Chain A
Amino acid sequence: MSLQTDSGPSTKGKKDMTVAAEKQGGGVLAFVKKQAQQSLAFGTLIILVVFFSIASPAFLTWPNISGVLLATAVIGILALGTTFVIITGGIDLSIGTGMTLAAVMTGVFIVNIGLPVWLGVLGGVLTGGLMGFVNGVNIAFLRLPPFIATLAMMLIAQGLSLIISGVRPIYFSGIADDFKLIALGTLIPGLPNAVLITIVAALIAFVVLGKTILGRYTFSIGSNEEATRLSGVNTRRWKVMIYTFAGLFTGVAGVVIASRLDSAQPQLGVGYELQAIAAVIIGGTSLLGGRGSILGTVIGALIMSVVINGLRIMSIQTEWQNVVVGIVILIAVYFDTLRNRASA
């Protein structure tokens, strides 16, 4: 059976004579393995919810649950986009300040230029897409390492946000009073629209990753870029498209945060990228590329916000909250490596 042939990393070149058992077991086993990380993450989430519910009666109340979901929105949407980038084996550090730039541009379009809200929102989302496109071009065609290219974009976006806004928040109230309803309106009573937007974004990401050619090449490039290229796939062009697509999520996050704050705050954003990346990793997406899922990312983002909210409810000191979140990330990634070892 497969365990015999796969006892360690160097047995890569080993073959077995007995293939029948593996063939039958492979499908089921693969399925179980594939589900393992998600069920693990999901189990963690359930345990956390149960724990905090017992620890504080205030945790499992609708206003708080709705608050947790709302708090998940911005980081969650950022994490959705960056899941694609991370599956390709890349990284995007520019999503935090990129989100801010998208928020500022939304403000410029609606408040300074006076465009209708829908057009301004579209402009904000496309700002995110444009930054993703530039990242993609820099990475795929200028061959810059993703870390460097997006680090540069992170600084550029931060600087541009400040320059364009004149280092002042842009307020929507008075000019576009409906703007804040994008995130805070309640199409479903009690549930802020930002949560709905996140759910829709997650569904779109899920379908694109699993059911379209873009998703397939995302996995393929992350798994073995050279092999994908040799198979006749224009990997550079697809990488640009993947980064652009991921950038659109950054743009959506920018619109959502601007709407929630009813203003574009140009100094925000630094550090959001790391939280989003952490959510993706907790969700079982491999930083080495090739593996990952949208469901995992959603659960990862929820774990992050549940932990933070729970600790706040319990009035744990801010310093300790950071420690706990750090430990959660360590544990999640440790289980991920365990799983990799088991299935190597």
Chain B
Amino acid sequence: MTEPILKVEGISKSFPGVKALDNVHLEVHPGEVLVLVGENGAGKSSLMKILSGIYTKDAGRIFFEGKEVEIASPLHAQHLGVTIIHQEMNLMSDLTVAQNIYIGREPMIGPFLSEAKLNKTASDLLERLNINLNAKQHVGELTVAKQQMVEIAKALSFNAKVLIMDEPTSALTDTEVEVLFTLIEQLKASGTAIIYISHRMDELKRLADRVTVLRDGSYIGSLNKDEIDIPKVIEMMVGRHIDEGTRPAIRDKTSNETVLRVRGLSTKSLLRDVSFDLHRGEILGFAGLMGAGRTETARAIIKADPTTGGTVEYEGKVARIKQPADAVRLGIGYLSEDRKLLGLMLEQDVTFNTILASLPTFTDSIGIVRDGKAKTIARDKVSELRIKTPSIGQMVKLLSGGNQQKVVIAKWLVRDCDVLIFDEPTRGIDVGAKEEIYALLQLLAAEGKSIIVISSELPEILRVANRVIVMAGGRITGELHNEEASQEKIMHLATHGGGDE
């Protein structure tokens, strides 16, 4: 085998109160895809931030092309040829695609920028990478998937020798994922080393030349391509065995009491005549491709967006919902897909977030928050939902993704909602924590809550939903009971319905 282009030995990094990395090893060779896996909080992001010059290491050595280096800044990392595509979007939405890609490296004519040259270079790059984007378009006008492609194009524009990708496909459609994988193959062939961080086992199988597993900031081990076995990898990650093929127990449908009855829901831009029932104690999955209208349906139900028609009945009565607050009052909670943006106060602690949706219950007659009661309930929920946090006073932004999601769930449980709508409940959450979320959903359903789960991951839908509604192009194109559902059937409905798409 060739010499490693990048080799990391004994890296440690501490933050106040946390040991993020402890004596971690890693190496990657030219023309190789190293898939790095580990639960959230395992230290993958910290390690990548050290490699890309955002953090400085406390101890350990980094070798690049055989020579020991200190990576001092993102710029330095880029000069070496180590480039990272961050999981969080790192784009300037008010600049164009070309301006984003070449930020800090603008072609100049004398003291002035040369926009023509910039656009030409960017167009050439996009063409070479087979990315279908207009270099002059503002990034803010692009879909998230296309923004991701911009990120990738930007990273590749550095002629990187080592390219780090942090969950690059988490917001991509299948076609776009294919484009990305083709790109990765091309890069491999040209000798680029790729460190690929992912939660998706199918991607791991498809891409990995080698896998390195981290857990709790420590190096667990590496497997070569021929040794890769998914259950074994997962076991290394979580330290216990997970059965991937589990399906929910078949629901007893004899007492199918309808909690939520939606009829003819339409919006100006997308939804057309969306009608369905949600039964008590049921988990109803919403499947479909990106843009099919699943999130829009949820938002239309709680009137987060204006509707042009349709009715919502809650427990047999027409629900007068004019704004999300009305929905919450009725007991319909929506847990948005973007927790950080819309679901949590990241700068606030666990207690604050837990009681946020039900503040009036925790205030006395003159409006003063009763801290004691709030803390008690927060403590209850932390242990009930097994939220991993040093204390209920911890700032939520310091928790891992899975635990943040649990805090959101806690918030709505405290609010005592009977209908819970989960939008991508496990996005950005690692495998072990996903299982916990699934178990939690089933527990809640068993307690009589009615749950809608919107998910883009078919195994997830099949894992938790008693019944699956498939959408395409703003319409419902099919409905399947779990017993009869399969990934193939759902994909068929998701790609063949809708008509006008």
Contacts and interface: CB of A to CB of B under 8 A. Distances in A.
A284 to B, nearest CB: 13
Contact of B75 (A8, A23, A26, A232): A232
Contacts of B92: 219-220, 223-224, 227-228, 290
B136 A15 contact: no
A31 to B, nearest CB: 9
Q: Which DSSP category, helix, strand, loop or mixed, fits chain A's interface?
A: helix
A87 B1 CA distance: 52
Interface residues of A, number: 43
Interface in B149-171: 154, 171
Interface in B336-350: 336-338, 341-342
A13 B74 CA distance: 27
Given A5-B143, A17-B290, A10 B94 contact: no
B171 A228 contact: no
A224 B291 contact: no
Interface in A213-270: 213, 215-216, 219-220, 222-224, 226-233
Interface stretch (B2-10, B36-44, B105-113, B361-369): B105-113
Nearest to B111: A212
Contact of B103 (A212, A215, A233, A290): A233
Contacts of B113: 211-213, 215-216
Contacts of A14: 143-144, 290-291, 295-296
A7 B136 contact: no
B377 interface: no
B323 interface: no
B390 interface: no
B95 interface: yes
A26 B501 CA distance: 19
Interface in B67-95: 73-75, 78, 86, 89-95
Nearest to B77: A232
B130 interface: no
Contact of A12 (B104, B141, B296, B338): B338
A16 interface: yes
Interface string A181-223: 0000000000000000000000000010001110110011011
B121 interface: no
A26 B137 contact: yes
Nearest to A233: B104
B141 A4 contact: no
B138 interface: yes
A145 to B, nearest CB: 15
A323 interface: no
B265 interface: no
A36 to B, nearest CB: 13
A213 B106 CA distance: 8
B267 A7 contact: yes
A57 interface: no
Contacts of B212: none
Interface string A5-47: 1011011111111110001001101100000000000000000
A2 interface: yes
A292 to B, nearest CB: 9
Contacts of A223: 92-95
Contacts of A26: 134, 137, 141
A294 to B, nearest CB: 15
Give 6 nearest A-B pairs by CB, closest first.
Answer: A15-B290, A223-B92, A232-B75, A290-B94, A16-B291, A227-B90
Given A14-B291, A211-B112, A216-B103, 10 more contacts: A10-B336, A10-B337, A17-B290, A23-B134, A30-B137, A215-B113, A223-B92, A227-B92, A228-B104, A231-B90
Interface of B: 54, 73-75, 78, 86, 89-95, 99, 103-104, 106, 108, 111-113, 132-134, 136-138, 140-141, 143-146, 154, 171-173, 175-176, 267-270, 289-291, 295-296, 299, 304-305, 336-338, 341-342, 424, 474, 501
10 contacts: A8-B299, A10-B295, A13-B337, A14-B295, A15-B173, A27-B137, A212-B112, A223-B92, A232-B78, A343-B141
